[in-house]
Amino acid sequence: MNMMSEAAVEKALDKKMNDISYKMIGKDVSVYYGDKRALYDVNLNVRENTVTALIGPSGCGKSTFLRTLNRMNDTIDGCRVTGRITLDTDDIYDQNIDVVELRARVGMVFQKPNPFPKSIYENVAYGPRIHGLAKSKADMDAIVEKSLQKAGLWNEVKDRLQEGGTGLSGGQQQRLCIARAVAVSPEVILMDEPCSALDPIATAKVEELIHELRANFTIVIVTHSMQQAARVSQRTAMFHLGNLVEENDTDKMFTNPDDQRTQDYIMGRFG
Amino acid sequence: MSISLLLLIVAVIGVAGYLIGSWRANALAGGKLSNLHSRPGYYGSFVAIWSILPAVVVLFVWVIASPIYISSTVRAGFPEEVKAEPQATQNLNYNMISAIARGFKVLTAEEREALFKDGATARDVLASKGVPVAAEPAPYMLKSADDLNRMTTTSSTWLSILVVIVAAVGAFFSYRSIAPKFRARNRVEGMMLVGLIAASSIAILTTVGIVASMATEAIHFFNMVPAWEFFFGTTWDPRFAAAGATASAGQFGLIPLLAGTLYIGFVAMLVAVPVGLFAAIYMSEYASRHVRSVAKPLLEVLAGIPTIVYGFFALVTVGPFLRDISAQLNGLVTGNYSNFIQAQSVLTAGFVMGIMLIPYVSSLSDDIITAVPRALRDGSLGLGATRSETIKRVILPAALPGIVGALLMTASRAVGETMIVVLAAGVAARMQLNPFEPMTTVTVKIVNQLTGDLEFTSPQTLVAFALGITLFVITLCLNIYALYIVRKYREQYE
């Protein structure tokens, strides 16, 4: 009974969100690495306060698309993006957009936990310090505490904030990286296979965390695990060979997909 | 038979052994190689090694031992009054006998007979054949020379016979041991391993040998000059003494030389560290792949220039340039056109040495900065940090221990650098702080003390070894500390 009602509440919430807006809109997005084309005219919209999962076999372009959303592809030599991506109403590839500001609004969590070789406190304070978000030490302390709490790490590390971030376990490190991203108060958080280097228990914690973060952030997550996509996301997009195959409600996607290729991939017939 | 011919024969036996061994193994296999423990080539190699190795060892031992044996036999045949003379005179006599013996070989039998009958003309006769002899040889010398020649010929004959026999016996027994179950591969690889170990021991033993020889000479020096006078003396005045003069003529204070070394090294690091580090940051973080592929090798060409060329550059270009520009500056400010920078100065030597060190700093730092995982860069950029913020706050702190290690290694090069300072720093051992004046370094003084006609019994010469070992210890400590830091740093990412 209880489960049912919770699911019902969630559905209602989704419906409400659907009515509100798209946070990011990608139109005819193509990406080239040198002469090689990695994405073909992808049209994909990201809904606000929703978890959107990107799935598909290796090399299908899902990570590439994710990285276009905060222009992390700019850091790769010879990478070129065409098409149009907007965040709210701003074209993020516009000349006048500062990539620094963009990345403050669209944060990112990577596949492998990559804490800086600094203390736990400094790891979280890194972003706010760069963007000048804290006016005083007390402000900063508050931001660090709030971010670690949001990442569900506060209780585990509150007594050793000055110890090295690299000394934590893999799962803790990944949650530290999430706290680090949250500390900048982004609007969107991109996650590139955030659980692929973690054990099942740590994975469960991170998934739970994603679920909670949804209330305040828009999340796009790349994953190789069908179960994970089904567990954490409300919308799912399936990529194949650089094309967007299908984008749909997660429930529908995993029960009754529109496209045969999605059906095959989810059933494990290829990929 | 000459040694090279002998070696050739042994090599031929070895090659033959290889072929026969492989052939025999193939025959034993009977067309099915899996019958053999190892592939046929290993059986061949096994035979070849056993043919060559023992024979070569015998050859070397003989070549080293036989002259020693012959020499002692010949000396034992000296007349009693000659044996009573000092060792040095006996050595001279023996050298003369060797020369005569060489001369005998170019004489005909009749000429040799004639010399024995009339010894007085020996020197002239030998000289006419192009063999110089220091003095008119005493009669016993002719006889000893003859003995020497005879023994050398005998020794050479026996050597040839023995080596060929050893090679043949080695080949025979190793050939006999070939059997399908014989573990030829393990044997051959074991011997290869021994060879590899021997090669690395040679490198290590050479270092130990160099240190030992330096230490022995340095101890001789410290027997003449007290160690505390050397290490804490503030005056360097070795007073080149004529041979045989009293030992205590000079003062050997290390401090002025060490001060000069460190001062010039400091100026060099002042030039090399910022330039090299900035170059490394540009190369590793900003340069596009195209620029990097051109600029990095060009920068590293600097490292390939011989230091003597930097020395010319300092002596001919930089020194006079600094001198003239200082004169101009002085003239503009005070109206007095006299230079305040000497052509040979701490500044000149330090500046040019700094240029020499730039590629070391940049190349080592570049490697270390590039080794910082890409994930850290992405993490920082993904948080909205700019490239320069990422470098300042994440990459450099992460790379710092490694960079410090690289700088320490560079510093040890600066301390040991010789040719630039010999040409550009001057020879005056002074203690002062003005970088525009000449100073001198430990390496310059080693060169000075070891140039010219030397007598390795005076402290004036032996001090070079004390200086050398001091320098060695300083650079060794710097290098060990640098390695320690670098290793500690590496553990972070593994």
Whether A208 has a pLDDT exceeding 50, the answer reads yes
Hey, which residues 171-190 in chain A have their CB within 8 Å of chain B? 177, 180-181, 184
B137 and B264 share a domain?
A: no
Containing domain of residue B88, as a range? Answer: 3-182
- Shortest Cα distance, chain B CAs vs residue A116, angstroms: 6
Put simply, the answer to whether A166 touches B492 (Cβ < 8 Å) is yes
Residue numbers in B near A101 (CB within 8 A): 384
- % of chain A residues with pLDDT over 70: 92
B396 touches A at CB < 8 Å: no
- Asked whether A62 and A55 are in contact (CB, 8 A), the reply is yes
| Cα–Cα nearest to B372, from B342, B343, B402, B404 | B402
B376 and B455 share a domain?
A: yes
Whether B56 has a pLDDT exceeding 90, the answer reads yes
- Shortest Cα distance, chain B CAs vs residue A85, angstroms: 18
pLDDT of residue A137: 92
pLDDT of residue A121: 94
B272 domain-assigned: yes
Whether A16 has a pLDDT exceeding 60, the answer reads no
pLDDT of residue B199: 94
Helix (H) or strand (E) holding A43: strand A36-47
Put simply, the answer to whether B379 touches A72 (Cβ < 8 Å) is no
Residue of A nearest to B392 (CA): A130
B190 domain-assigned: no
State both tokens at A59: 């090399």
Whether B47 has a pLDDT exceeding 50, the answer reads yes
**pLDDT tens profile B101-119:** 888 877 777 777 777 776 6
Residue of B nearest to A70 (CA): B382
Put simply, the answer to whether B379 touches A77 (Cβ < 8 Å) is no
B133 and B268 share a domain?
A: no
Put simply, the answer to whether A117 touches B397 (Cβ < 8 Å) is yes
B381 touches A at CB < 8 Å: yes
Among residues B144, B165, B182, the one where a domain terminates is: B182
Put simply, the answer to whether A108 touches B398 (Cβ < 8 Å) is no
B165 and B247 share a domain?
A: no
Cα–Cα distance for residue pair B425/B437, rounded to 1 Å:
9
Whether B143 has a pLDDT exceeding 70, the answer reads yes
Among residues B137, B152, B182, the one where a domain terminates is: B182
What does the mean pLDDT of chain B come to?
87
- Give residue B240's pLDDT band: very low, low, confident or very high (50, 70, 90): low
B24 and B152 share a domain?
A: yes
**pLDDT tens profile B187-206:** 999 999 999 999 999 999 99
- Smallest Cβ–Cβ distance between B376 and the set A77, A100, A116 belongs to A116
What does the mean pLDDT of chain A come to?
87
**pLDDT tens profile A34-70:** 889 999 999 999 998 999 999 988 888 899 999 999 8
Query: How many domains, chain B?
Result: 2
A119 touches B at CB < 8 Å: no
B304 and B430 share a domain?
A: yes
A116 touches B at CB < 8 Å: yes
pLDDT of residue B493: 53
**pLDDT tens profile B335-356:** 888 888 888 889 999 999 999 9
pLDDT of residue B428: 82
B405 domain-assigned: yes
Higher pLDDT, B141 or A85: A85
- Give residue A127's pLDDT band: very low, low, confident or very high (50, 70, 90): very high
Cα–Cα distance for residue pair B107/B110, rounded to 1 Å:
8
Among residues B158, B182, B206, the one where a domain terminates is: B182
- Smallest Cβ–Cβ distance between B381 and the set A103, A115, A118 belongs to A103
- Asked whether A9 and A28 are in contact (CB, 8 A), the reply is no
B393 and B312 share a domain?
A: yes
- Smallest Cβ–Cβ distance between A70 and the set B375, B382, B393 belongs to B382
A242 touches B at CB < 8 Å: no
ipTM over 0.85: no
Put simply, the answer to whether A103 touches B382 (Cβ < 8 Å) is yes
pLDDT of residue B241: 54
**pLDDT tens profile B78-97:** 888 878 888 778 888 888 88
**pLDDT tens profile B169-188:** 999 999 998 888 888 899 99
Identity at B431, one-letter amino acid code: M
- % of chain B residues with pLDDT over 90: 38
B245 and B150 share a domain?
A: no
A195 touches B at CB < 8 Å: no
- % of chain A residues with pLDDT over 90: 41
- Shortest Cα distance, chain B CAs vs residue A72, angstroms: 7
Residue numbers in B near A104 (CB within 8 A): 383-384
> CATH number, domain at B430?
1.10.3720.10
B194 domain-assigned: no
Put simply, the answer to whether A110 touches B398 (Cβ < 8 Å) is no
Complete edge-to-edge strand list for the sheet that includes strand A22-33: A36-47, A22-33, A79-87, A90-91
B200 domain-assigned: no
pLDDT of residue B494: 43
Hey, which residues 264-293 in chain B have their CB within 8 Å of chain A? 288-289
Put simply, the answer to whether A103 touches B376 (Cβ < 8 Å) is no
Q: Which of B383, B391, B396 to probe the A interface (max A CBs under 10 A)? A: B383
- Give residue A1's pLDDT band: very low, low, confident or very high (50, 70, 90): very low
pTM of the prediction?
0.74
- Give residue B158's pLDDT band: very low, low, confident or very high (50, 70, 90): very high
pLDDT of residue A180: 93
**pLDDT tens profile B207-232:** 999 999 999 989 988 988 888 888 88
pLDDT of residue A268: 79
B430 and B319 share a domain?
A: yes
B190 touches A at CB < 8 Å: no
